[in-house]
Structure 1
Amino acid sequence: MNINATLFAQAVVFAILVWFTMKFVWPPIAKALDERALKISEGLASAEKAKSELAVANKRVEAELSQSRNEAGVRLADAERRAQTVIEEAKARATDEAAKIVASARQEAEQQVVKARESLREEVAALAVKGAEQILQREVNAGVHADLLNRLKTEL
């Protein structure tokens, strides 16, 4: 075989192979590579977008948490103020009730003192009458001396 003819035949076969590859094999491979590069760039862009949205969402969450903490603090302070108000009102009511009870007890004690004095006056008057009866050794008419006994009661 002739080496020049072999080299020429191989060059023609290589040229046909290059033409076939450029015409039928290379375009689908290039298209697949371009599509893959496009998907990767879209994925990176959406990842960046998601990252920025996450940062915005984190800031919003922090702001809402801060606002919630502030509201909770305000509510706690308000509840403490209400509790103090309720306690003060309860103390005032208890003081008023205690004053009423003390006043009622004093009035009742005064009434009992008056009753005891009346009872004591009646007993003293009865003892005075009995003593007078024994002194005089006769019965004293209580109807006749009622005025005298009433004056004696008021003096005691």
Structure 2
Amino acid sequence: MNINATLFLQAIVFAILVWFTMRYIWPPIATALDERARKIAEGLAAADKAKADLAAADRRVEEELARARTETATLRADAERRAQATIEEAKARATEEGNKIIAAARAEAEQQTVKAREALREQVAALAVKGAEQILRREVNAGVHAELLNRLKTEL
């Protein structure tokens, strides 16, 4: 065999191999590479979109937390105002109740005073009657009467 013929035959076989590869093997490989590149691009786009969605979700979460904090502060302030109003109302009721109790105690003390005065008047009247009785039983004598009146004074 001649080296030129071998070389020529190898060149023809190589050309057929190149043509066969370009015709039947290369298109599926190129399609697979294109498909893979498309999937990678889609994955990167999805990752970018997910990153943007995550940032938007973080902003919404921060806004929601800020709103919740504001609502909580408002509710707390409202509860404190209601508690203060309840305390003031309870104080007013307690003061009113205390004033009623004091008024009742004063009325009772006034009644006791009136009763004591009445009892004292009755005792004074009884003593006066007793003193008059003793004076009338004895003879009319200024010294004796003064002594009886002094005893009455000491009894009162």
3-state DSSP class of the match of 1:12?
helix
**Ranges of 4+ aligned residues in structure 1 off by more than 6 Å:** none
Give unpaired runs (5+ residues) of structure 2. Answer: 139-156
Matched, 1:126 2:136: no
Which aligned pairs between 1:1-156 and structure 2 lie closer than 5 A?
Answer: 1-137=1-137
Distance 1:63 1:5 in 2: 82
* One-letter amino acid of the counterpart of residue 71, structure 1: E
Q: TM-score, normalised by structure 2?
A: 0.82
Percent sequence identity over aligned pairs: 73
- Deviations, residues 79-122 of structure 1 (Å, cap 9, x unaligned): 11111111111111111111111111001000001001111111
Distance 1:87 1:37 in 2: 73
- Deviations, residues 32-72 of structure 1 (Å, cap 9, x unaligned): 00000000001111111111111111111111111111111
- Deviations, residues 111-156 of structure 1 (Å, cap 9, x unaligned): 0010011111112222232333334349xxxxxxxxxxxxxxxxxx
Give unpaired runs (5+ residues) of structure 1. Answer: 139-156
Report the RMSD for the aligned CA atoms in angstroms: 1.8
* One-letter amino acid of the counterpart of residue 96, structure 2: D
Q: TM-score, normalised by structure 1?
A: 0.82
Distance 1:14 1:99 in 2: 120
